[in-house]
Structure 1
Amino acid sequence: ILLTLRNTGFLGSKKGKGGGYYLLKDPIEIHMTTVIRVLEGPIAMVPCVSLNFYEKCDDCPDENKCAVHKLMLQVRDSVLEVYRNNTLADLISE
């Protein structure tokens, strides 16, 4: 996980005595949407509602008429609302 966070620009590293990992940005600037996408991938539970990783579902003939699609849009938007309104600083302070 640390290497992934370093390779995606969240962490820097220092070798030697007193070395280790450190944040490259202030925690208040790091939104949870970005962290989740880096660590877990798409936020959406199904690919047909993903903002960044969209894929059409193989078994769905029409997304506009699909009740599951409509529900998953609501779920995605609710989850995004929570992630967008929280930063790494919010997690650290709790």
Structure 2
Amino acid sequence: MLSKKTQYAFHALIHLAERADQGPVLISEIAQEKNISIKFLENILLELKNAGMLGSKKGKGGGYYLLKPPKEIALAKIIRLLDGPIALLPCVSLNYYERCENCRDEAVCGLHEVMSKVRDASLKLLENKSLKDILTKNVPIPKLG
């Protein structure tokens, strides 16, 4: 399950992508529009900036902006950065491998075999889908009244 932190990161990235042609976006605008605590959002955006996904500009006309086009920001990279492993078990993780405490032999563990296939299917999808793929599905809902 995606953490709230990662879900908020996706909402913020979508907001930045939608306004990419308007220059840097103030953190307060993103927080208000997406209903996210400014303090929490600051930490998320700083992590994304340190990972090379975002840039920032200080002063008048400042804010955050995407450093790469949305099609070049893989969903898997965002999830790994903020939530860690994509695999459901540590023994099948490619980047965060740990041997399971209660497993005698991974080679004959049926759960290990199935979870490896789940990991492979998830990675195939998440590494080939980008911010652009979720951006095109994020159509604004018209306000009533």
* TM-score interval, normalised by the smaller of the two chains: over 0.9
Task: Compute the displacement of 1:90 (Å).
Answer: 0.9
Rg larger for: 2
Task: Compute the displacement of 1:31 (Å).
Answer: 1.0
SS in 2 for 1:42: coil
Runs of 4+ in structure 1 deviating by more than 3 angstroms, as ranges, are none
Task: Compute the displacement of 1:71 (Å).
Answer: 1.1
Instruction: Please list the CA deviations of residues 15-41 of structure 1 after superposition, one character each: whole Å capped at 9, or x if unmatched.
Output: 111111011111111111111101111
Normalised to the residue count of structure 2, the TM-score between the two structures is 0.62
Amino acid at match of 2:92: V
Normalised to the residue count of structure 1, the TM-score between the two structures is 0.94
From 58, 65, 68, the counterpart of 1:22: 65
Task: Compute the displacement of 1:68 (Å).
Answer: 0.8
Question: Are 2:112 and 1:69 aligned?
Answer: yes
Give the superposed CA RMSD.
Answer: 0.9
From 66, 87, 91, the counterpart of 1:48: 91
From 12, 18, 21, the counterpart of 2:55: 12
Higher helix share: 2
Question: Whole-Å Cα distance in 1 between the matches of residues 97 and 116 of structure 2?
Answer: 12
Question: Whole-Å Cα distance in 2 between the matches of residues 6 and 84 of structure 1?
Answer: 20
Which structure exhibits the higher relative contact order, with contacts defined as CA atoms closer than 8 Å and separated by 6 or more residues?
1
User: Percent of pairs identical after alignment?
Assistant: 56
Question: Are 2:36 and 1:36 aligned?
Answer: no
